[in-house]
Structure 1
Amino acid sequence: MSIRLLFVGLSLALLLDGCATSFFNSRKSFEPEKTQIASAAVSKTGKEAVSINRDGVTFSDGTFLTRSGMSSIRLPKGFHFVTQSSVYVLAADDTGKILLINRKSGKVLHEGKLEYPLVSALLRGKTIYYVSQDNVFGVYSVAAKKTRISAKVGRAYAVDTRIANPIAMQGMLIVPTLDGKLLIINPANPRAARGFAIGDSANLNNVIFLSRIGGRIVAATPKKLVSAAPGAMHKFEASIADVTISGGTIYALTGDGRVVKLSPSLKVLAQKKFPYAQFTAVAVVGGKVYALDRSGALIVMDRSLKKSRIYDVGEVEDYAFVAGHRLYKDDEVIDLNKLSY
């Protein structure tokens, strides 16, 4: 599957692949003149992905992958990874059920139920700040075993499922909604949330990347990249395929085949275009920048984007996910340390 679109209704969510697949098939493909063999860096995982989100991949055997690597915990059948803290793992199913699991022992500590299926969340102690389908923001208390706050925050019809989880920043919580807003929440008084919109409509404008650089919020929708600080907001207008931050620098992949290096205020520092590339994942590992095209071309560059080498790692059929120095793709894992420019 290429890009998943999530249609959010009152009680129904559907995954649609046909439009995205048709779109990509109608485009010209990136065809580099020369590629390197990467077989020495590639091995099989033997795992089939059943759920994919911004921060994790859940496999059919119940194991899951996060940005820090493969977990030894096995989730109950029907549940998928949502997020984790230093102590807990939060998992959910497609009916609204949630599980809080001890990260070390794998023991289920709490079972709960939300009105709508969970989409994204942040764990703070035993309180869950979340967004569910139908674009509902909520606060769930594990101790009280109930939702303390639940409010619909806007309409969202079609959503890119690379949905970013909320983050904590300077004592506040930044919660991305499904209609392209960022809610700024004081945990001591979550009912008094304020926020601002970075998306332009209710369709495919949810936040697909959310992080921070110092006191700046860095967020992306499928249509733009935003850097916001008190009293200032900068925008980089482009179709956004993926974003990463390394060493205070932002690297973005665009829909027109560019790898772009940007400052925290989104000044373009360098860029390189690869005609017809349909990028899916970017990472910075060991001082090198990696950009993966859906055709299987893995471009390895230096941080200045001046030097590059392209490896053929095979077409991306389902997903691509970077954890540590490894790139997981479909049923394969690629050791990025073994590839250079």
Structure 2
Amino acid sequence: MKGLSLLTFTVAALLFSGCSSKKYFEPEQTFSASNASTSYGGSISDLSREGGTLKSGQYISKAGVSTVNLGEGYRFLNENDTYILATNTEGILKVIDKKTKEAVREVSLKVPVVSATIHNGVIAYILNNNTFGIYQMKDNRKLVESRSEATVAIDTRAASPIFIDGLVVMPMLDGKLIIVNINDSDNAKVVYLSTEKVFNNIIYLSRKGNTMIAATPKRLLTLGSSGQNEYKANISEVAFDKGIIYLFTKEGEILALNSYLEKVGEAKYKFAHYSVGTAFNGKVYGLDQGGSLIVMNSALTKQKIYDVGEVDEPAFITGTKLYKDGDMIELSKLGYE
């Protein structure tokens, strides 16, 4: 993926340039998570917001480890109940039928695909040059394609488009959301989150009830019944559980925010650098790159830290499961007491 690889290398260069002076989170006491860990025998070579591509050509998604092989040179983008979306360095968008495990479409978009979502036979996609488009499978044609402002470098955790009724919300690489009506694409609405010049793409996008939540690495935005609210932070990850938004920051903080983005809880772990984070069933989980898995209560007042080993490959959380370096850790088995 020539364009995307350049951006990825840019991210990597910035991350590793400061390694010699980087300080690490060192908890006083840790516990074993061996009772919650099993091996799945895979190795993640590429990560998207919706899953990871394994070196074997298979992938991990929200449904777990799939037996479908994406094909040589392809990386996983997304899936629904019927189809799998994958892409390669030449900008081919491959649509694979889950039943036959064969490709039913190979759409040449000519530019590497960063993210994509499929819903009712319609595919919304975002390309590496900050172009968004909508493709309809039954007619084998593009309904719309439009390019936004060029970007220099992005955070690789690029969010995927989401469908809301007859609308598609496009999380662009230049810090804005473009809301497109599938049947009337000329009247798109634009919502700006941030105007930073680099690393400004939307890294998180979801809909929770009547509220849409979006984030760039610098700003969190909610749109819903409580109006439009914003919160500034150096964001590593975003999670949501029981009406509370949890922010994992690059300063080692974990922040709990209500629907008005007012802070209702806070914890800080000095020098923690979060690889992934999540929240469910009244618990909050944050994995530090050094291998400390922090488990907290929803109020962020109680904690227990597990040593799961340094993070060597990209890690991925889906549901209650953490996939890390060939192991699957069932997070629901880990408590904070």
TM-score range, shorter chain: over 0.9
Aligned pairs for 1:10-29 within 5 A: 15-16=9-10, 17-29=12-24
**Structure 1 runs of 4+ off > 4 angstroms?**
6-9, 11-14
Shift of 1:213: 2.4
Change (3 A) 1:103 1:169: same
Determine the structure 2 residue equivalent to 1:70: 65
**Deviations 1:152-179 (CA, angstroms, capped at 9, x unpaired):** 1112110011000011224321111110
Aligned pairs for 1:25-174 within 5 A: 25-174=20-169
Opposite residue 77 of structure 1, the aligned amino acid is: E
Opposite residue 81 of structure 1, the aligned amino acid is: F
Q: Which runs of 5+ in 2 are unaligned?
A: none
**Which has the larger displacement, 303-312 or 319-328?**
319-328
Please tell me whether the aligned partners of residues 120 and 130 of structure 1 are also in contact (alpha carbons under 8 angstroms): yes
State how many pairs are aligned.
335
Change (3 A) 1:255 1:122: same
Aligned pairs for 1:173-322 within 5 A: 173-229=168-224, 232-322=227-317
So what's the TM-score if we normalise by structure 2?
Answer: 0.93
Q: Which runs of 5+ in 1 are unaligned?
A: 1-5
Opposite residue 65 of structure 2, the aligned amino acid is: M
Shift of 1:77: 1.1
Structure 1 distance, partners of 2:23, 2:326, is 26
Please tell me whether the aligned partners of residues 184 and 194 of structure 1 are also in contact (alpha carbons under 8 angstroms): yes
Shift of 1:304: 1.3
Change (3 A) 1:12 1:116: farther
For the residue of structure 1 that corresponds to 2:9, the secondary structure is strand
**Deviations 1:181-201 (CA, angstroms, capped at 9, x unpaired):** 100111111232121211222
Opposite residue 15 of structure 1, the aligned amino acid is: F
Change (3 A) 1:42 1:12: closer
Change (3 A) 1:7 1:197: farther
**Which has the larger displacement, 43-52 or 287-296?**
43-52
Opposite residue 260 of structure 2, the aligned amino acid is: S
For the residue of structure 2 that corresponds to 1:179, the secondary structure is coil
Please tell me whether the aligned partners of residues 280 and 320 of structure 1 are also in contact (alpha carbons under 8 angstroms): yes
Please tell me whether the aligned partners of residues 285 and 336 of structure 1 are also in contact (alpha carbons under 8 angstroms): no
Determine the structure 2 residue equivalent to 1:329: 324
Change (3 A) 1:195 1:326: same
> RMSD value over aligned CA atoms?
2.1
Structure 2 distance, partners of 1:28, 1:12, is 27
Structure 2 distance, partners of 1:216, 1:279, is 26
**Deviations 1:279-305 (CA, angstroms, capped at 9, x unpaired):** 121112443211111110101111111
Please tell me whether the aligned partners of residues 8 and 159 of structure 1 are also in contact (alpha carbons under 8 angstroms): no
Shift of 1:134: 0.7
Shift of 1:231: 8.4
Change (3 A) 1:322 1:84: same
Change (3 A) 1:19 1:161: same
Determine the structure 2 residue equivalent to 1:3: none
Please tell me whether the aligned partners of residues 8 and 156 of structure 2 are also in contact (alpha carbons under 8 angstroms): no
For the residue of structure 2 that corresponds to 1:193, the secondary structure is strand
